[in-house]
Amino acid sequence: MRNRLTPARRTRFAARLLLWYDQNKRDLPWRRDAHDPYRVWISEILLQQTQVATVMPYYARFLARFPTVRALAAASLDDVLKTWEGAGYYARARHLHRAAQEIVARFDGKVPPTVDELLTLPGIGRYTAGAIASIAFNRDAPVLDGNVTRVLCRYLNIADDPKSAGTQKELWALAEELLPRGRAGKFNQALMDLGATVCTPRRPLCSACPLNRSCAARRLGIQAQLPAKHQKKTLPHHQVAVGLIWKRGRILIAKRFAKDLLGGLWEFPGGHQEKRESLKQCVRREVREELETEVHVEDEFAVVEHAYSHFRITLHAFNCQWVRGRPRAIGCAEYKWVSPRELSRYAFPSANRKIIAKVMGER
């Protein structure tokens, strides 16, 4: 390990950070709820790759709907997904549901306190296990997230790709080494708060940083260039067409397979446009393949742009008349005819919700 810190420097690091935290910590709902491991767990899952401001309303709504591990375990996955609707990364919701059932079965309904036990639950990786163990149970467990990575890379001028296995190992070791025994919960949150509010990705506020005097990157004036980022691939762009298929005031929706992208969510039947195929032909073909029924494709109803993390779609929605054949789920898990107002009971991906908004607006 290249970066070995002297005991004195470790102590100073923690002392300055904790003092800063006492005066600058954010007042967040899950901090008030830190005595309840279930709430800490929910907050940590919601916060994965998601900003605090986005999480806030979901946190309140989720806990109002599922106040305990047992309530979550007893709920249907559809209800859980509906509560998660719009938050993204829906595997988090599926894992949460499954983990709640495992906690009831294996841990008497209580979130386990140790990193090793937490790691056996779906959706809980090394970061989340450390966060729950330290924040809810004050165990001496380190965390390494995007914030901690940024703070440490800058503080110690670590210029290697932070995603690489070697650097990861080094960073975890450092997070562990810096941890003041008996105060892990506070220390970890302090480190993350510092990264979120002071040691920010762009234009860090070094003058407000409690660690600025001993920060290696700042001394060199290269704060903003760390941590190193690896090159991103350009996003593919797809044309997608879906059908708003009407029959006697009801509309046909299909449920996606659990394992797929947006698994377990509902959508309007349709899919990717193939080469040498018009968007109308695309809807017809997809509906035939997905539901073994025929539709008459009429006018285009709406066009929605939507960016995912790894591709971008232009989603074309067509008004369609159901022609003949009984729908039969082939390429989807399930289908249903629902009235427009019933649409709000089902969890849809963001792109489809924009179309629903138009459907409701036009009625």
Partner DNA sequence: AACACGTGGGG
Partner DNA sequence: TCCCCAAGTGT
Contact criterion met (CB below 8 Å) for 264 and 255: yes
| Using rule CB under 7 A, residue 358 touches DNA | no
Beta carbon nearer to DNA, 6 or 234: 234
Question: Is 50 an interacting residue with respect to DNA (CB under 7 A)?
Answer: yes
Region from 70-78, 87-95, 241-249, 280-288 binding DNA, contact rule CB under 7 A: 87-95
HEC sequence for 262-288? CCCCEECCEEECCCCCCHHHHHHHHHH
Cα(112)–Cα(129) distance, rounded to whole angstroms? Answer: 10
Measured from the Cβ of residue 14, the count of other Cβ atoms closer than 10 Å reads 19
Site string for DNA, 117-146 (x = CB under 7 A): -----xxxxxxxx-x-------------xx
CB nearer to DNA: pick between 167 and 293: 167
Draw the binding track, 189-228, toward DNA (x: CB under 7 A; -: no contact). x--xx-xx---xxx--------------------------
Shortest Å, Cβ 97 to DNA: 13
Binding window for DNA (CB under 7 A); candidates: 63-71, 276-284, 307-315, 329-337: 307-315
CA–CA distance from 6 to each of 3, 9, 141, 178, 321 (Å)?
10, 5, 20, 10, 73
Cα dist. 70→47, 85, 110 in Å?
22, 21, 9
Query: Tokens at residue 28, please?
Result: 């967040």
The Cα–Cα gap between 20 and 43 comes to 23
Q: Which helix (H) or strand (E) holds 141?
A: none
Q: In the block, which residue shows the tokens 């059932």?
A: 101
Q: Is 37 in the site for DNA (CB under 7 A)?
A: no
The footprint of DNA on this chain (CB under 7 A) covers a number of residues equal to 59
Nearer to DNA, 308 or 337 (CB): 308
Using CB under 7 A as the binding rule, whether residue 344 contacts DNA is answered as no
Q: Is 51 among the residues that bind DNA (CB under 7 A)?
A: yes
Using CB under 7 A as the criterion, which residues of the chain lie in contact with DNA when the complex forms? 28, 30-31, 43-44, 47-54, 86-91, 95, 122-129, 131, 145-147, 150, 163-165, 189, 192-193, 195-196, 200-202, 229, 232-233, 260-263, 306-310, 349-351
